[in-house]
């Protein structure tokens, strides 16, 4: 303990006596520390996002849609394929009450929405209350569709209000302005409180019972399933069928969450069975296993996270080599001093300790500096540059400083060993 204290004192004197050299070497380590913190927080951001996405989207998802690519050997063989109707959905629900979500979805495009004198194109999606169970990344004002609306085919609707593009993303901003991608509908919802208003969609009067406000980018976890959310108006699926927005040839898509990953395969088998019994043999529907897709996406994210962390490690390696270089230079510059110390009784261990402690101190200072820079870079600077702040956890700088110190330690061992191995008489003769 005493020799450690003495080594630290000597180390401090040496670091102070060679300011330029010391600053350069702890800058090298600081760079490593900075990159590491940035990498770590990026990984953490990805991880957090995935966790949130898992929560929002669920893992055990599947999607059933009509198979448009069935092949027929001749036109005579063609029979209109079966469609999934709302009755089929209810039947599936009755047979498999354990499923967490069975959400039928029907889309209609190029609808004309009229509000007062203003007319604009929009797109409709017919859903049930189950839709809100997953991928619900909105703040709801008013209320969402309920079963009463669905059962009574009420002409009520919920409008989606788009969030502003990510801050500082000047490209997307200018694009939005130039081509008016936001369109009339988005402008209407953005600038008018539509809650409780009545609108006409393709001539039918609907009451706006709710507005779904998209959360700003930084707070929006996104959906793991990755489906584009281009719908603008949500209405009961039964209403849309009843008023012929959706004709009887159009099949409903089903978005299903089995509830948990363990019963996924079992549920998948049962659902396939249900479809076969109800519609007969034939590739009428595509059952998309989203569990696999989600797992692949997570694996891909983690892989890119590993790449990032290895970059951080490389930066530390560079810093470590810098420290090794400086320590070796120090050893050669102080060979005579090593001889003097050996002559007056320092053991090899004392000499090794001295150089290692000195390097570790450089590493510590560098690590602290780098962590501070990493924090500055991760929080205020990135925000100013419009890259969105990184989530830096309290423990990250500690880990980073520890790794910096450890790197310095590891890379100082060789030079310290060289120093300790010098023969006292030879070292004393050095210039």
> Any contact of residue 257 with another protein (CB under 8 A)?
no
| Candidate segments 59-67, 247-255, 336-344, 391-399, binder of another protein by CB under 8 A | 336-344
Decide if residue 94 touches another protein (CB under 8 A).
Answer: no
Q: Verify binding: residue 348, another protein, rule CB under 8 A.
A: yes
Per CB under 8 A, the segment of 11-19, 98-106, 285-293, 405-413 that binds another protein is 11-19
Token pair belonging to 281 = 């043999």
Nearer to another protein, 23 or 428 (CB): 428
Q: Which of 347, 380, 385, 414 binds another protein (CB under 8 A)?
A: 347
User: Environment class of residue 46 by beta-carbon count within 10 Å: exposed (0-12), middle (13-18) or buried (19+)?
Assistant: middle
User: Does residue 430 belong to the site contacting another protein (CB under 8 A)?
Assistant: no
Nearest residue to 223 via CA among 48, 54, 46, 42: 54
Q: How many residues bind another protein (CB under 8 A)?
A: 24
Query: Tokens standing for 249?
Result: 């040839």
Please tell me whether residue 342 binds another protein under the rule CB under 8 A. Answer: yes
Distance CA(190)–CA(186), nearest Å, equals: 6
Contact, 17 vs 333, CB < 8 A?
A: no
Q: Is 2 in the site for another protein (CB under 8 A)?
A: yes
* Contact range with another protein by CB under 8 A, out of 34-42, 111-119, 200-208, 332-340: 332-340
- What percent of the chain is helix, strand and coil (3-state, nearest 5)? 55, 15, 25
> Residue 327 or 407: which CB sits closer to another protein?
327
Q: How far is the CB of 14 from another protein (least distance, A)?
A: 8
Which of 343, 376, 381, 385 forms a contact with another protein (CB under 8 A)? 343
Query: In this chain, which of 105, 335, 341, 415 binds another protein, going by CB under 8 A?
Result: 341
Query: Among residue numbers 365 through 424, which ones bind another protein (CB under 8 A)?
Result: 423-424
3 binds another protein (CB under 8 A): yes
Say if CB 371 and CB 37 are below 8 A apart. Answer: yes
Subset of 95-154 contacting another protein (CB under 8 A): none
Polymer length in residues for the chain: 431
Burial class (CB in 10 A: 0-12, 13-18, 19+), 27: middle
Residue among 163 and 329 whose Cβ is closer to another protein: 329
Q: Which part of the chain contacts another protein (CB under 8 A), choosing from 6-14, 178-186, 192-200, 393-401?
A: 6-14
Binding mask 288-327 for another protein (x = CB under 8 A): ----------------------------------------
Q: With CB under 8 A as the contact rule, which of the stretches 75-83, 93-101, 333-341, 362-370 interacts with another protein?
A: 333-341
Other CB atoms closer than 10 Å to residue 12's CB: what's the count?
13
Rounded to a whole number of angstroms, the minimum distance from the CB of residue 308 to another protein is 43
All residues at 6 or more sequence positions from 339 whose CB lies less than 8 Å from its CB, including other chains: 422, 424, 425, 426, 427, 428, 429, 430
**Contact 419/336 with Cβ under 8 angstroms?**
no
Point out which span in 73-81, 119-127, 219-227, 341-349 binds another protein (CB under 8 A): 341-349
Determine which residue in the list 11, 339, 367, 378 makes contact with another protein, applying CB under 8 A: 339
Beta carbon nearer to another protein, 13 or 174: 13
Structure tokens at 118: 């203003």
User: What are the two backbone dihedrals, phi and then psi, of residue 45, each rounded to the nearest 5 degrees?
Assistant: -60, -45
Q: Which residues contact 169 (CB under 8 A, 6 or more apart)?
A: 386
- Contact 312/32 with Cβ under 8 angstroms? yes
| Nearer to another protein (CB atom), residue 14 or residue 257 | 14
* Residue 214 CB-density burial (10 A; 0-12 exposed, 13-18 middle, 19+ buried): middle
Q: Residue 102 and residue 84: Cα distance in Å, rounded? A: 13
Identified binder of another protein from the candidate list 55, 349, 385, 398, rule CB under 8 A: 349
The answer to the question of residue 345 lying near another protein (CB under 8 A) is yes
Q: Give the span between the Cα atoms of 202 and 49, in whole angstroms.
A: 39
14 binds another protein (CB under 8 A): yes
Nearest-approach distance from CB 31 to another protein, in angstroms: 29
Distances 47 to 44, 50, 297 between C-alpha atoms, Å: 5, 5, 12
Give residues in contact with another protein (CB under 8 A).
2-3, 6, 13-14, 17, 336-337, 339-350, 423-425, 428
């Amino acid at each position: 303990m005493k020799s450690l204290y003495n080594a630290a004192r000597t180390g401090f004197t040496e670091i102070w006596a060679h300011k330029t050299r010391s600053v350069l070497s702890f800058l090298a380590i600081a760079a490593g520390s900075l990159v590491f913190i940035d990498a770590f927080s990026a990984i953490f951001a990805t991880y957090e996002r995935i966790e949130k996405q898992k929560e929002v989207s669920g893992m055990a998802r599947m999607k059933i849609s009509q198979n448009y690519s069935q092949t027929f050997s001749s036109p005579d063989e063609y029979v209109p394929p079966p469609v999934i109707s709302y009755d089929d959905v209810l039947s599936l629900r009755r047979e498999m009450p354990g499923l967490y979500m069975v959400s039928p979805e029907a889309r209609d495009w190029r609808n004309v929405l009229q509000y007062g004198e203003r007319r604009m194109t929009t797109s409709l999606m017919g859903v049930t209350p189950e839709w809100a169970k997953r991928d619900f990344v909105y703040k709801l004002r008013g209320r969402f569709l309920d079963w009463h609306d669905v059962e009574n085919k009420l002409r009520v609707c919920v409008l989606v209000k788009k969030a502003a593009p990510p801050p500082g993303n000047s490209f997307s901003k200018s694009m939005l302005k130039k081509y008016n991608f936001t369109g009339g509908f988005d402008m209407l919802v953005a600038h008018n409180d539509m809650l409780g208003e009545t609108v006409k969609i393709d001539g039918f009067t609907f009451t706006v019972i709710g507005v779904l406000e998209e959360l700003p980018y930084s707070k929006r976890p996104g959906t793991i399933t990755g489906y584009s959310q281009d719908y603008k108006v949500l209405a009961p699926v039964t209403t849309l069928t009843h008023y012929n927005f959706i004709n009887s040839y159009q099949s409903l898509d089903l978005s299903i969450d089995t509830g948990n990953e363990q019963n996924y395969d079992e549920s998948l088998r049962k659902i396939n069975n249900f479809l076969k019994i109800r519609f007969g043999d034939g590739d009428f529907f595509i059952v998309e296993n989203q569990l696999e897709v989600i797992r692949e996406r997570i694996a891909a994210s983690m892989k890119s996270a590993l790449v990032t962390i290895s970059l951080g490690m490389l930066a530390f390696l560079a810093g470590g080599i810098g420290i090794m270089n400086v320590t070796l230079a120090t050893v050669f510059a102080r060979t005579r001093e090593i001889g003097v110390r050996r002559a007056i009784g320092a053991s090899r261990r004392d000499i090794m300790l001295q150089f290692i402690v000195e390097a570790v101190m450089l590493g510590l200072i560098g690590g602290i500096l780098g962590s501070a820079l990493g924090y500055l870079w991760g929080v205020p600077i990135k925000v100013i540059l419009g890259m969105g702040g990184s989530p830096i956890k309290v423990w990250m700088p500690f880990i980073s400083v520890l790794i910096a110190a450890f790197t310095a330690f590891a890379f100082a061992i060789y030079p310290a060993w060289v120093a300790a191995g010098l023969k006292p008489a030879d070292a004393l003769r050095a210039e």
